[in-house]
Amino acid sequence: MRRNAQPWGRTDRYAVTVSNQIAVVPGSFDPPTLGHLDVIRRAADLYDRVHVVVVHNPGKEALLPIAQRLVLLEQSIAEAGVPAERVTVASWSVGLLVDYVTEVGASVLVKGIRSQVDVTYEAPMAVVNRNLAGVETVFLLPDPALALVSSSLVRQVAALGGDVSPYVPGAVARFLDTGSGA
Ligand code: PNS
Protein backbone atom coordinates (compact mmCIF):
# COMPACT_ATOMS: atom_id res chain seq x y z
CA MET A 1 0.00 0.00 0.00
CA ARG A 2 1.30 3.43 -0.97
CA ARG A 3 1.99 5.74 1.91
CA ASN A 4 0.24 9.09 1.84
CA ALA A 5 2.89 11.82 1.84
CA GLN A 6 0.61 13.95 4.00
CA PRO A 7 -1.19 11.56 6.35
CA TRP A 8 -4.22 12.72 8.34
CA GLY A 9 -4.82 15.58 5.91
CA ARG A 10 -1.99 17.64 7.33
CA THR A 11 -0.64 20.55 5.38
CA ASP A 12 2.92 21.82 5.51
CA ARG A 13 1.78 24.96 7.30
CA TYR A 14 1.89 25.24 11.05
CA ALA A 15 -1.23 27.36 11.31
CA VAL A 16 -4.09 26.96 8.85
CA THR A 17 -6.44 29.89 8.38
CA VAL A 18 -10.11 28.92 8.45
CA SER A 19 -10.91 30.93 5.34
CA ASN A 20 -13.84 33.28 4.82
CA GLN A 21 -15.15 32.91 8.29
CA ILE A 22 -16.10 35.53 10.82
CA ALA A 23 -15.59 34.65 14.47
CA VAL A 24 -17.08 36.36 17.50
CA VAL A 25 -15.03 36.61 20.70
CA PRO A 26 -17.53 37.58 23.44
CA GLY A 27 -16.93 38.49 27.05
CA SER A 28 -17.39 41.00 29.81
CA PHE A 29 -13.83 42.35 29.33
CA ASP A 30 -14.12 44.22 32.65
CA PRO A 31 -11.29 45.01 32.23
CA PRO A 32 -9.56 43.35 29.23
CA THR A 33 -6.64 41.18 30.40
CA LEU A 34 -3.53 39.79 28.71
CA GLY A 35 -5.41 36.47 28.58
CA HIS A 36 -8.20 38.09 26.55
CA LEU A 37 -5.67 39.65 24.17
CA ASP A 38 -3.97 36.27 23.73
CA VAL A 39 -7.29 34.70 22.66
CA ILE A 40 -8.16 37.65 20.38
CA ARG A 41 -4.74 37.44 18.69
CA ARG A 42 -5.06 33.68 18.16
CA ALA A 43 -8.60 34.09 16.79
CA ALA A 44 -7.37 36.77 14.35
CA ASP A 45 -4.68 34.32 13.18
CA LEU A 46 -7.30 31.66 12.48
CA TYR A 47 -10.24 33.63 11.07
CA ASP A 48 -10.61 36.28 8.38
CA ARG A 49 -12.47 38.66 10.65
CA VAL A 50 -12.98 38.76 14.38
CA HIS A 51 -15.72 40.63 16.22
CA VAL A 52 -14.76 41.28 19.83
CA VAL A 53 -18.07 41.83 21.58
CA VAL A 54 -18.52 43.31 25.03
CA VAL A 55 -21.60 41.70 26.57
CA HIS A 56 -23.22 43.01 29.72
CA ASN A 57 -23.18 40.20 32.26
CA PRO A 58 -25.89 40.94 34.86
CA GLY A 59 -24.35 38.34 37.17
CA LYS A 60 -21.21 40.43 37.72
CA GLU A 61 -20.81 43.79 39.42
CA ALA A 62 -19.13 46.03 36.84
CA LEU A 63 -15.93 48.00 37.39
CA LEU A 64 -15.93 49.89 34.08
CA PRO A 65 -18.76 51.24 31.91
CA ILE A 66 -19.13 49.36 28.64
CA ALA A 67 -18.02 52.41 26.60
CA GLN A 68 -14.72 52.46 28.52
CA ARG A 69 -14.16 48.74 27.95
CA LEU A 70 -14.63 49.32 24.20
CA VAL A 71 -11.98 52.08 24.19
CA LEU A 72 -9.54 49.96 26.20
CA LEU A 73 -10.10 46.97 23.92
CA GLU A 74 -9.42 49.07 20.82
CA GLN A 75 -6.25 50.51 22.35
CA SER A 76 -5.07 47.10 23.60
CA ILE A 77 -5.71 45.39 20.26
CA ALA A 78 -3.73 48.13 18.49
CA GLU A 79 -0.90 47.82 21.03
CA ALA A 80 -0.82 44.03 20.52
CA GLY A 81 -0.24 44.55 16.80
CA VAL A 82 -3.37 42.70 15.69
CA PRO A 83 -4.25 44.07 12.22
CA ALA A 84 -7.06 46.61 12.76
CA GLU A 85 -8.77 45.69 9.47
CA ARG A 86 -9.34 42.15 10.79
CA VAL A 87 -10.99 43.16 14.07
CA THR A 88 -14.26 44.88 14.96
CA VAL A 89 -14.95 45.92 18.54
CA ALA A 90 -18.63 46.17 19.47
CA SER A 91 -21.05 45.82 22.36
CA TRP A 92 -24.26 43.83 22.60
CA SER A 93 -26.86 44.23 25.27
CA VAL A 94 -30.16 43.48 23.55
CA GLY A 95 -31.21 39.86 23.25
CA LEU A 96 -29.22 36.70 22.77
CA LEU A 97 -25.54 36.65 21.88
CA VAL A 98 -26.35 34.28 18.98
CA ASP A 99 -28.55 37.05 17.51
CA TYR A 100 -25.42 39.21 17.19
CA VAL A 101 -23.50 36.24 15.72
CA THR A 102 -26.07 35.59 13.01
CA GLU A 103 -26.68 39.31 12.36
CA VAL A 104 -23.01 39.90 11.41
CA GLY A 105 -22.80 36.67 9.37
CA ALA A 106 -20.43 34.97 11.79
CA SER A 107 -20.25 31.21 12.10
CA VAL A 108 -18.51 30.57 15.40
CA LEU A 109 -17.91 31.85 18.88
CA VAL A 110 -14.32 31.69 20.13
CA LYS A 111 -13.54 31.48 23.83
CA GLY A 112 -10.47 30.86 25.94
CA ILE A 113 -10.33 27.92 28.32
CA ARG A 114 -7.91 28.27 31.22
CA SER A 115 -8.93 25.33 33.39
CA GLN A 116 -11.52 22.68 34.12
CA VAL A 117 -13.51 25.39 35.91
CA ASP A 118 -13.86 27.26 32.60
CA VAL A 119 -14.95 24.06 30.84
CA THR A 120 -17.70 23.53 33.44
CA TYR A 121 -18.84 27.17 33.05
CA GLU A 122 -18.62 27.31 29.25
CA ALA A 123 -19.92 23.88 28.17
CA PRO A 124 -23.64 24.49 28.91
CA MET A 125 -23.51 27.90 27.14
CA ALA A 126 -21.86 26.31 24.10
CA VAL A 127 -24.57 23.64 23.89
CA VAL A 128 -27.39 26.18 24.35
CA ASN A 129 -25.93 28.49 21.69
CA ARG A 130 -25.68 25.55 19.27
CA ASN A 131 -29.26 24.50 20.01
CA LEU A 132 -30.55 28.07 19.68
CA ALA A 133 -28.97 28.96 16.36
CA GLY A 134 -26.54 26.28 15.20
CA VAL A 135 -23.64 28.43 16.38
CA GLU A 136 -20.60 26.34 17.34
CA THR A 137 -18.10 27.40 19.99
CA VAL A 138 -14.38 26.93 19.41
CA PHE A 139 -12.23 26.80 22.54
CA LEU A 140 -8.65 28.00 22.46
CA LEU A 141 -6.05 27.32 25.12
CA PRO A 142 -4.27 30.51 26.09
CA ASP A 143 -0.58 30.76 26.86
CA PRO A 144 -0.12 28.72 30.11
CA ALA A 145 1.66 31.73 31.62
CA LEU A 146 -1.69 33.52 31.50
CA ALA A 147 -3.78 30.66 32.89
CA LEU A 148 -4.22 32.30 36.29
CA VAL A 149 -5.14 35.76 34.98
CA SER A 150 -8.76 36.84 35.29
CA SER A 151 -10.68 40.11 35.17
CA SER A 152 -12.07 39.46 38.65
CA LEU A 153 -8.54 39.12 40.03
CA VAL A 154 -7.52 42.36 38.31
CA ARG A 155 -10.62 44.16 39.65
CA GLN A 156 -9.76 43.04 43.17
CA VAL A 157 -6.07 44.01 42.99
CA ALA A 158 -6.94 47.38 41.39
CA ALA A 159 -9.60 48.12 44.04
CA LEU A 160 -7.02 47.57 46.77
CA GLY A 161 -4.41 49.76 45.10
CA GLY A 162 -2.11 46.97 43.86
CA ASP A 163 -0.06 46.81 40.66
CA VAL A 164 -2.08 45.14 37.88
CA SER A 165 0.46 45.73 35.10
CA PRO A 166 1.64 42.07 34.96
CA TYR A 167 -1.89 40.97 34.06
CA VAL A 168 -3.31 43.57 31.69
CA PRO A 169 -2.34 45.31 28.43
CA GLY A 170 -0.45 48.59 28.83
CA ALA A 171 -3.48 50.72 27.94
CA VAL A 172 -5.51 49.08 30.70
CA ALA A 173 -2.69 49.37 33.26
CA ARG A 174 -2.31 53.07 32.47
CA PHE A 175 -6.05 53.64 32.68
CA LEU A 176 -6.41 51.87 36.01
CA ASP A 177 -3.36 53.72 37.32
CA THR A 178 -4.25 57.21 36.13
CA GLY A 179 -7.90 56.94 35.15
CA SER A 180 -7.10 58.23 31.66
CA GLY A 181 -4.99 55.64 29.83
CA ALA A 182 -2.65 58.48 28.81
O1 PNS B 1 -16.36 37.30 30.31
P2 PNS B 1 -17.58 36.55 30.78
O3 PNS B 1 -18.31 37.33 31.85
O4 PNS B 1 -17.23 35.16 31.24
O5 PNS B 1 -18.54 36.43 29.53
C6 PNS B 1 -19.76 35.72 29.63
C7 PNS B 1 -20.67 36.01 28.42
C8 PNS B 1 -20.94 37.48 28.31
C9 PNS B 1 -19.95 35.55 27.15
C10 PNS B 1 -21.96 35.20 28.65
O11 PNS B 1 -22.56 35.67 29.82
C12 PNS B 1 -22.92 35.28 27.47
O13 PNS B 1 -22.72 34.60 26.50
N14 PNS B 1 -23.94 36.14 27.57
C15 PNS B 1 -24.91 36.31 26.49
C16 PNS B 1 -26.33 36.04 26.95
C17 PNS B 1 -26.95 34.90 26.17
O18 PNS B 1 -27.03 34.90 24.96
N19 PNS B 1 -27.38 33.85 26.94
C20 PNS B 1 -28.03 32.67 26.39
C21 PNS B 1 -27.10 31.58 25.89
S22 PNS B 1 -25.82 31.07 26.96
Residue 139 φ then ψ, to 5°: -105, 130
Say what the pLDDT of residue 57 is. Answer: 82
Q: How far apart are the CA of 136 and the centre of ligand 1, in A?
A: 14
**Nearest CA among 172, 177, 178, 182 for reference residue 68:** 172
From 55, 91, 94, 122, mutation site for ligand 1 pocket: most ligand atoms within 8 A of C-beta: 55
pLDDT under 70: residue ranges of the chain: 1-19, 179-182
Say what the pLDDT of residue 94 is. Answer: 87
**Nearest CA among 48, 53, 43 for reference residue 21:** 48
Angle at 31 between CA 27 and CA 35, to 5 degrees: 70
Catalytic annotation, pick one of 36, 41, 49, 155: 36
Q: How far apart are the CA of 182 and the centre of ligand 1, in A?
A: 31
CB burial string 118-156: b at 16+ within 10 A, e below: beeebeeebeebeeeeebebbebebeeebeebbbeebbe
Say what the pLDDT of residue 72 is. Answer: 98
Catalytic annotation, pick one of 56, 86, 114, 130: 114
Say what the pLDDT of residue 104 is. Answer: 97
From 25, 29, 57, 137, mutation site for ligand 1 pocket: most ligand atoms within 8 A of C-beta: 57
- Sorted by where each begins, the domain ranges of the chain are 15-178
In short, whether 97's Cβ falls inside 6 Å of ligand 1 is yes
Say what the pLDDT of residue 15 is. Answer: 52
- Give the total residue count for the chain: 182
Catalytic annotation, pick one of 28, 42, 49, 151: 151
Q: Strands (DSSP E) along 56-173, which ranges?
A: 87-92, 108-112, 136-140
3-class secondary structure for 138-157?
Answer: EEECCCHHHCCCCHHHHHHH
Rounded to whole angstroms, what are the CA distances from 56 to 6, 16, 157?
Answer: 46, 33, 22
Say what the pLDDT of residue 6 is. Answer: 42
Say what the pLDDT of residue 17 is. Answer: 55
Say what the pLDDT of residue 31 is. Answer: 98
Question: Would you say domain 15-178 falls under CATH 3.30.70.330?
Answer: no
pTM: 0.89
Say what the pLDDT of residue 19 is. Answer: 58
The distance of Cα 167 from the centroid of its chain, to the nearest Å, equals 15
Say what the pLDDT of residue 153 is. Answer: 96
Say what the pLDDT of residue 178 is. Answer: 76
